[in-house]
Amino acid sequence: MSYETLTFIWFVLLGILLCGYAILDGFDLGVGILHPFIAKDDRERRLVMNSIGPLWDGNEVWLVTFGGALFAAFPVAYATVFSSFYTAFFLLLTCLIGRAVSLEFRSKVHSPRWRSVWDAGFFLSSLTAAALLGIAAGNVMAGMELGPMYKYEGSLLSQIYWYPLLVGGLTVSLFALHGAIYLYLKTEDELQDRVRRLIPPLIYLFAGLYVVVTIATWWHVPHATENIAANPVLWIVPILNALAV
């Protein structure tokens, strides 16, 4: 097997792992983002949290596996990415831990103040984690300032500008929509009706941001379409994306 073929296979596997995480943990994060807006009392807040109770920890395995596969297949890329986004990944890990702690500790004490603290932690950790994932993706898409030995020459502040923030907003809207659809399937009665009314605005928000990010990518990241220009058959990818939206 040639090196090019092996590289392509690993790229596909990494893409599957990353998509698997976005799909499966995406609705977990989306539920956390929507939590304070759709649950009106303690019972509903508990129901919303319990809807992802058996799933959230298993879904995070996709992200861990992605990191391990990246290290095994492309160690230089692994070293560059993880050193470049060290602070961002530390914040992401903190958010994922905060979400887990919020889910586990909320019901330990029967106190409104205690539960409100963990409710806030659940929301903030989910929102921040989703935004950080989008910001990291935006930076990778736009390109990174690498010096000799693939050392990142930028800083945390240089990673936070309009394009990654725009991709971060798109990611948050996508996960929120994903979480709303999941909650609609898992709830009933008044709570389900409330979730159903929230889905159309989220669809419009996501679709609008999708169009904006697509246009911004063509303008800000012109090399993103080089492979499509060289291989016209790849136009099927953005076409399928547009149809999926």
- Give the pLDDT confidence of 47-105 residue by residue, as tens digits: 888 888 777 777 788 888 888 888 888 888 888 888 777 888 888 889 989 888 888 88
HEC string for the chain: CCHHHHHHHHHHHHHHHHHHHHHHHHHHHHHHHHHHHHCCCHHHHHHHHHHCCCCHHHHCHHHHHHHHHHHHHCHHHHHHHHHHCHHHHHHHHHHHHHHHHHHHHHHHCCCHHHHHHHHHHHHHHHHHHHHHHHHHHHHHHHCCCECHHHCECCCCHHHCCHHHHHHHHHHHHHHHHHHHHHHHHHCCHHHHHHHHHHHHHHHHHHHHHHHHHHHHHHHHCHHHHHHHHHCHHHHHHHHHHHHHC
Mean pLDDT along residues 210-224 = 85
- Give the pLDDT confidence of 99-152 residue by residue, as tens digits: 888 888 888 888 888 888 999 999 999 999 999 999 988 888 887 777 777 777
Q: Specify the pTM.
A: 0.87
